[in-house]
Amino acid sequence: MKFKEYFGISPKDVQETCIICQSYDAALFSRETKNGFFVKTANAKNATVIALKNNFLAGDTVLYLRETKCKKILLFGSCGGCGDVESGDLVIIDKAYNLESFSSMLSFDKDIKYKTFSQELFLSFYGKYPYEDLIKTNSACVSSLVLENSYADWFKEKEVCAIDMESSIVLSAANETGIKSVCLMYVADHIEKNPPGNNLEEHTKSKISSARKKLAKMILDFINE
C-alpha cells in the first residue's frame, strides 16, 4: 500500500516529531485530521499526530515512517496497571517486555525479552517534569487480556507496572528505523484492583480523565518548547 493511502498524507508532510496515539485520542492534540486507510493523521504545531485505528498495526505504521524525516516518536496512550500504581497515575516507560505473541503468552514461556526506549528522550522528558508525579517503570506489551492476570507475579518481579498493547511493538520498529522513541501512558485500570470492564466510581473516572488530558498537555508543552 502506498504511503498516502495508508496515512492520508504524503511522506513529505510528516514532521520530525511524531505523536502516536489511539484514534480516540487524536482530538487531544489536533482537531483537524486526515483519514488514511489504517490511521488518521494531523499536523499540530511542531509534530505530526498519527492516530491508530488498529493497535496491531503500530509496528507497520512506524516502519512506514522510514520514508519520512521523522526522528522522534512519542507514544501516548492508556495502560493497565499492576503493583504499586493507581488508576489516573502517569507513567514513563524504561524497558518494554515483549509478550506480543498470544501463543508464547499462552505457553507461559517466562524467557521474555525486552528493549529499552531512547534514554535521551526519556531523560529529556522526565527532566522537564520532575514534580509532576511521573512514575518511571517498565511495561509489558501483551496479546491477551484473559491471560494477563496469570502473569501478575512475574510483572512484579520485573518491576512492570504498565500493561499495554503497543509499547514493545513501537519500540522495536523505531529501533529498526533508527527513530528515537519514548512511551508515556496514563493508568486506566488495574489488573488486581479494578480489572478492565469493571464499573468505575465517578471519582476514579474523573481522575483518569484528568490524567489523560494532563499527560497530553505535558507532551504538547514538551514538543513546543
CATH 3.40.50.1580 fits 3-224, yes or no: yes
What CA–CA distance (Å, rounded) separates 92 from 167? Answer: 11
Domain ranges of the chain: 3-224
Residue 195: band (very low, low, confident or very high) from pLDDT cuts 50, 70, 90: low
Highest average pLDDT, of 43-47, 158-162, 203-207, comes from 158-162
Q: Among 9-13, 107-111, 135-139, whose mean pLDDT is lowest?
A: 107-111
Q: Which amino acid is at 3?
A: F
pLDDT band at 205 (very low <50, low <70, confident <90, very high): confident
User: What CA–CA distance (Å, rounded) separates 19 from 124?
Assistant: 16
For residues 185 and 91, the answer to whether their CB atoms sit within 8 Å is yes
Give pLDDT, residue 60: 97
Crossing angle of helices 119-128 and 202-224, rounded to 10°: 110
pLDDT at residue 219 tops 80: yes
Q: Would you say residue 198 has pLDDT above 70?
A: no
For a pLDDT cut of 90, what percent of the chain falls above it?
A: 75
* Residue 172 in this model has a pLDDT that exceeds 80: yes
Give the chain's largest Cα–Cα span.
Answer: 46
Q: Which of 186, 176, 181, 179 lies closest to 212, judged by CA?
A: 186
pTM for the model stands at 0.93
Q: What is the mean pLDDT of residues 84-100?
A: 94
- Taking residues 109-114, report their average pLDDT: 84
The pLDDT of residue 161: 96
- How many whole angstroms separate alpha carbon 122 and alpha carbon 118? 6
From 153, 190, 185, select the one nearest 166 (Cα to Cα): 185
Residue 217 — pLDDT band, cuts 50, 70, 90? very high
CA-CA distance, 104 to 160, in Å (whole number)?
18
